[in-house]
Structure 1
Amino acid sequence: MGGHRRAILITGASAGIGAALARECAGRGYDLILTARREGPLQALAQELARQHGVTADIVVADLAEPGAPVALVEAIAVRGLRADGLINNAGFSRTTGFLATDPADHASMIRVMLTAPVELSRLLLPGMIERGWGRVLNVASLAGQMPATGGDTLYGPIKSFLIKASQGLWLETQGTGVHVTALCPGYTYTEFHDVNGSREQVSSAYPKWMWMDADRVARIGWEAVEANRPRVTPGVANNVLAALGGLLPDALALKMVGGHAKRLDRL
């Protein structure tokens, strides 16, 4: 683990905001414990971080959709003699085909990956952080968690709302312990995923440019916020305006405002 250097465990680290956060932490001198379902991308990222930043990046392949995966992950880390001084709960996915058109097994996986796993990993790792007097927990939520619900990706926003509230509660409970807890609430974010599958132009056309941010910038804002012990951060002025509007508008108007969300994405 690189001697006395602190290590950050990142879930869903193989691509997107997770990979950007890994690069951000490595650039600040943290060692990494990277986990995701795909070993190839994890290996490539670990080698990149070690080469560019001189940090140690260990990988643990895990599928957080499997019951018991958080406990198995923490045990695998301990068996290797590693220690997670920080935790970034980033793993997640969405199903936009509608509540009734989505396989219930997919809904169950969403809940385990995006809600149950962050809760379990936080409960497993926070005692050690508090005992050592230092820790960082960054929960990657979403602007969607601060906005009215949308049809299509019916569970995504509510799950992210839960994550924001849970983060705020943990922030209150960990005051004075040396542990910082933050909910990161990005809006639409460009990642390499859009470049790899050739969809960047299409997703860009669904919403105006001012609604989009780069993953590297989102990662930097998120990590700066958790270092500063802010309970929540929403990157981008426009996203903060949207979040404020979402909380102020009457339900009927707010739901009408977001009503076309899934339809626009379905047309891509």
Structure 2
Amino acid sequence: MRASGQQGGNGRGYALVTGASSGIGAAIAREYARRGVPLILTARRTDRLDALAAELRGRVDVLTLAADLADPAAPAALQAEIASRGLHVAHLVNNAGYGVPGRYLSSDWKTHADSLQVMLNGVCELTHRFLPAMEAAGHGRIINVASLAGLVPASAGHTLYGATKAFLIRFSECLAMEMETRGVHVCALCPGFTYTEFHDVNGMRDRVSKLPKWLWLDADAVAKLGLDAVERGQRRCVTGGANKLIAAISKYLPDGLAHALVASRSKEFRDAD
């Protein structure tokens, strides 16, 4: 693990943001900095982390920790490095994640196992490691970045993505109920289509760019909505009016009709080949 740039503790709780090198993670880091919360940023791409840290250090203390959360040892290593510096994590943002395109059998098991380690096992372990100190302090905030995909009917392709995000939503809601009298707020942030590099990474940029503009939000808006929601004690935050409508329709439509509608349009936003 490579660390750089921390300016020294200031007695305040830090925000640990995973997947902070770009997209929603970077936007959340910027929003925390705007609110004066010092940061611990982690991701694989050290050049991106260092650039973001340089941008934000004029506002708050920033520590960067390069780590690959596909490595099962990464959560424990992160906790140990943070503890060695005497820092307290008061805000945890489990944002790291990605989609594996195509049919389930079009990728080998190692590819799927890595994605589950990042988006499911790693999220649960980081939460389990940092939550006790929040509970002891009587104050903490946890944002698990899920997706609208966890609230709508399944579609072919990207097989584990929606399933993992559905898990994160239920996990967040259960944990929020357990913590509601202990000063710790937990929120599942459920963005829909967001202007980030996500669709470039999974090879879907050309397809999703044809979707209507009203379906999209920018990452900065998503970040602000998420931080506001967790501060209010909101257990689930679906971003944007269009996405809230889609989630509501998915909930109340008969299963057969909802699945048929999604199946008829899924090739616009999922690679099932």
Once residues 12 and 18 of structure 1 are traced to their aligned partners in structure 2, the CA distance between those partners, rounded to angstroms, is 6
Greater shift in the superposed pair: 10-19 or 169-178: 169-178
> Partner residue of 1:255?
259
> Partner residue of 1:15?
22
> Partner residue of 2:33?
26
- Structure 1 unaligned spans of 5+: none
> Partner residue of 2:173?
168
TM-score by length of 2: 0.91
Query: How far did 1:80 drift?
Result: 2.5
Aligned residue identity for 2:230: V
> Partner residue of 1:177?
182
TM-score by length of 1: 0.93
Aligned residue identity for 2:169: I
1:233 pairs with 2:240: no
Partner SS state of residue 100, structure 1? helix
> Are the structure 2 counterparts of residues 261 and 64 from structure 1 closer, same or farther at C-alpha, using a change threshold of 3 Å?
farther
Once residues 153 and 44 of structure 2 are traced to their aligned partners in structure 1, the CA distance between those partners, rounded to angstroms, is 31
Once residues 196 and 174 of structure 2 are traced to their aligned partners in structure 1, the CA distance between those partners, rounded to angstroms, is 30
> Partner residue of 2:249?
245
1:113 pairs with 2:118: yes
Query: How far did 1:47 drift?
Result: 0.8
Aligned length: 264
Aligned residue identity for 2:99: S
Out of 84, 88, 105, the residue aligned to residue 83 of structure 1 is: 88
- Identity value in percent: 51
1:217 pairs with 2:224: no
The 5 Å alignment of 1:123-162 reads 123-162=128-167
Query: How far did 1:194 drift?
Result: 7.0
> Are the structure 2 counterparts of residues 58 and 260 from structure 1 closer, same or farther at C-alpha, using a change threshold of 3 Å?
farther
Partner SS state of residue 230, structure 1? coil
What do you get for the CA RMSD once the two structures are aligned? Answer: 2.1
Partner SS state of residue 260, structure 2? helix
1:63 pairs with 2:74: no
Query: How far did 1:260 drift?
Result: 4.6
Aligned residue identity for 1:254: A
Residues 15-35 of structure 1: CA distance to partner in whole angstroms, max 9, x if unpaired? 000000000001000000000
- Note if contact 1:138-1:183 (Cα within 8 Å) is conserved in structure 2: yes
> Partner residue of 2:3?
none
